Amino acid sequence: MGSLRLVCAWVIVAGCGWRCASGVPGEAQQPAPELVEVEVGGTALLKCGPPHALGNLSQVDWFSIHKEKQTAIFHVRQGQGQSAHGEYEHRLSLQGPGATLALHQVTPHDDRVFLCQSKSPRLQDHRIQLRVYKAPEEPTIQANAVGIPVDSREPEEVATCVGRNGYPIPQVVWYKNGRPLREEKNRVQIQSSQIVESNGLYTLQSVLKAQLVKEDKDAQFYCELSYRLPSGNHMKESKEVTVPVFYPAERVWMEVEPVGVLKEGDRVEIRCLADGNPQPHFNINKQNPSTREMEEEKTLDDGILILDPAQKQHSGLYECQGLDLDTMIPLMSDPQELLVNYVSDIQVSPEAPEGVEGSSLELTCEAESNRELEFQWLREKTGQVLEKGSVLRFPNLRREAAGGYLCMASVPSVPGLNRTQLVNVAVFGPPWMAQKQRKVWVKENATVSLSCEASGHPQPTIFWNVNGTASQQEQDPQTVLSTLNVLVTPELLATGAECTASNSLGINTTLLVLELVSLTTLTPDSNTTTGLSTTMVSPHARANSTSTEKKLPEPESKGVVIVAVIVCILVLAVLGAVLYFFYKKGKLPCGRSGKQEITLPPSRKSEFVVEVKSDKLPEEMGLLQGSSGDKRAPGDQGEKYIDLRH
């Protein structure tokens, strides 16, 4: 429902009541129509006269006046209303005692004058001007996507603004960068038109035309619709748009990314730019260091040269050349020096260092760079820094020193710029094995994968003493790894598998003892390798021995020795207890020569009591202390008895 606004335009003339003065002297005119405002869809209340003049309106006729044609629309008789046939037949009703007529569902077609005539001679005809309003929808704007050249002789279309479904026709105002535009001859033109929809609402279309200049390339244009409602004046704005503006270039320049210090391996982008629109056609030229002439570089995109990865030969003098296809005038940028920092030609001498144990060895590292270099040496496997400087010395060469070393040359002033060179130090010697013997848990009639690794210089070769599928792989210049896939047979379980590594300086072997898997071997804390996975014997803990050396004890043998010692102690304890028992009973006289059979009473054959000192081993106890009987010596107060009957 729209809101109502009543505006009474009455003129009081002395002696005549509510009337309007006539333009002709001596002639009385009708008063000005009362103004009633309502929005589309609302209800308009039409009153038959000013409030203080409303009296007995039991007989009233209502008329609509459109295009000077008066049409009856409603009749009031004895306070009862009746609609006349026509367009208002179902939209009119009486309000109150009959002095007010309500018009429902107001439309734009209801914007007209309504007349109220009373049968009372004391009341004059009352005219009402009904004004209808409808706010337009949000305005839409469409910019010229083709673009406007600055050298156009006439104003070109900039944008089109459309406001739909408003009533009455809204007013449009164009803005550029927040400032309103006014029509200006040969500079700014605003052409507006409207369409009346079938429902009586208006659609407004406004076209802005203008001559633009180079400075308008970033200008923001928008339109504003101004309209009125019963509540007052309102406005709606469109979004802002920009329009392509075409103008010739006056300057060309070059940009390089990333900005700052460049190094080998970076992705470098050289881009040509100009202050014209559209951008001119570009060529990127680089100075030939030999001829000093500028030569064109090949580019994938117009005006963009990508160096990925950048290398030291990309350093040099570059320039951009632009050609405006409209004016055909070439433009050159200022030359720009591009410097790619580098580290190259890193070398280690000697290239293949080798020596015998006890000798000295010296490695020297060299490299080239356009900046000051720093050197350091690292162990390849661990990454540990061994030495800072270009020289790495081995005063007393050991076979553990064999392997890879890295020389790193870096530029402190350019973070991340470095190069490394790997060199392998070889120490002459027979093959080196990690262990002489290894136990492997396997399952019978299953295929097991056994591995054996050996190192040495010259590089050794590995052989197996059992038939199977063997393969050999080089780990580094001194180390080889051999893998054997073999079926576990009773014969293999009995003999085990032996791998032999040999070179020109000697041989070395490792024996793999195969044991069947049992429940006791699969305990969670068991560290023994099973045959379900590859078993590798590696040379990290070097066995500096040949094949003639004795087998090294296994870690498992320590447990066996401990168990054996405990068993021996228990046996000696039992034996000592038995001898002491017979001595107490007089069955074993001290110092008596000859043999005497030791017997026990039948009732005591199953009972043994062992007496052990708490701080002495059984063999240290005095077995013959005291005379016959159970009397103890005074020093026997710390004795303890172990009952072995159970």
**pLDDT at position 20:** 36
pLDDT band at 580 (very low <50, low <70, confident <90, very high): confident
Q: Where are the alpha helices (DSSP H) in 436-556?
A: 490-495
Q: How far apart are the first and last CA of the chain?
A: 109
- Which residues are paired to 472 by β-bridges? 482
Tokens coding 566:
């405990």
Q: Choose among 283, 170, 164, 315: nearest CA to 235.
A: 170
Averaged confidence pLDDT in the chain? 80
**pLDDT at position 571:** 87
Residue where the block lists tokens 């109220």 = 116
332, 320 contact by CB (below 8 A): yes
Tokens coding 500:
């032999």
Residue type, 553: P
Tell me the per-residue pLDDT of 237-246, one tens digit each, with 9 for 90 and over: 999 999 999 9
- The angle subtended at Cα 171 by Cα 170 and Cα 172, nearest 5°, is 120
- Sort 613 into a burial class: Cβ within 10 Å, 0-12 / 13-18 / 19+: middle
Q: At residue 525, does pLDDT exceed 90?
A: no
Helix and strand counts by DSSP (H, E) for the chain: 2, 50
For the CA atoms of 432, 433, 435, 439, the dihedral, rounded to the nearest 10 degrees, stands at -170
pLDDT band at 553 (very low <50, low <70, confident <90, very high): very low
How many residues belong to the chain?
646
Q: At residue 521, does pLDDT exceed 80?
A: no
Residue where the block lists tokens 């890879």 = 404
Q: At residue 394, does pLDDT exceed 60?
A: yes
**pLDDT at position 646:** 36
**pLDDT at position 54:** 55
- The angle subtended at Cα 198 by Cα 197 and Cα 204, nearest 5°, is 5
**Residue range 39-44: mean pLDDT, rounded:** 95
- Which residues are paired to 194 by β-bridges? 204
486, 451 contact by CB (below 8 A): no
Beta strand ranges found along 240-333 (DSSP E): 245-246, 252-257, 262-263, 268-274, 281-287, 294-296, 304-307, 316-323, 330-332
53, 18 contact by CB (below 8 A): yes
**pLDDT at position 598:** 38
89, 103 contact by CB (below 8 A): no
**Residue range 274-288: mean pLDDT, rounded:** 92
Residue type, 643: D
Q: What is the largest CA-CA distance in the chain?
A: 182
Residue where the block lists tokens 């066995």 = 543
- Sort 310 into a burial class: Cβ within 10 Å, 0-12 / 13-18 / 19+: buried
**pLDDT at position 301:** 82
- What count of Cα atoms within 13 Å lies in the side-chain half-sphere of residue 97? 8
Tell me the per-residue pLDDT of 310-327, one tens digit each, with 9 for 90 and over: 999 999 999 999 998 877
pLDDT band at 27 (very low <50, low <70, confident <90, very high): very low
pTM: 0.54
> SS3 of 584, please?
helix
**pLDDT at position 175:** 97
**Residue range 211-234: mean pLDDT, rounded:** 95
576, 543 contact by CB (below 8 A): no
Distance CA 342, CA 338 (A): 13
**pLDDT at position 229:** 95
**pLDDT at position 31:** 76
> SS3 of 455, please?
strand
Residue type, 468: G
Q: DSSP of 369-388, one letter per residue?
A: ESS--EEEEEETTT--EEEE
Distance CA 189, CA 174 (A): 10
Question: Of 346 and 25, which is predicted with more confidence?
Answer: 346
Distance CA 222, CA 236 (A): 11
Q: At residue 9, does pLDDT exceed 80?
A: no
Distance CA 449, CA 488 (A): 10
**Residue range 409-425: mean pLDDT, rounded:** 95
**Residue range 198-215: mean pLDDT, rounded:** 95
Tell me the per-residue pLDDT of 603-627, one tens digit each, with 9 for 90 and over: 333 333 333 333 433 333 332 233 3
**pLDDT at position 26:** 41
Q: At residue 552, does pLDDT exceed 70?
A: no
Tokens coding 488:
């576990």
Q: Alpha carbon of 174 to those of 181, 244, 393, 570: distances in Å? A: 5, 18, 84, 114
Distance CA 233, CA 171 (A): 11
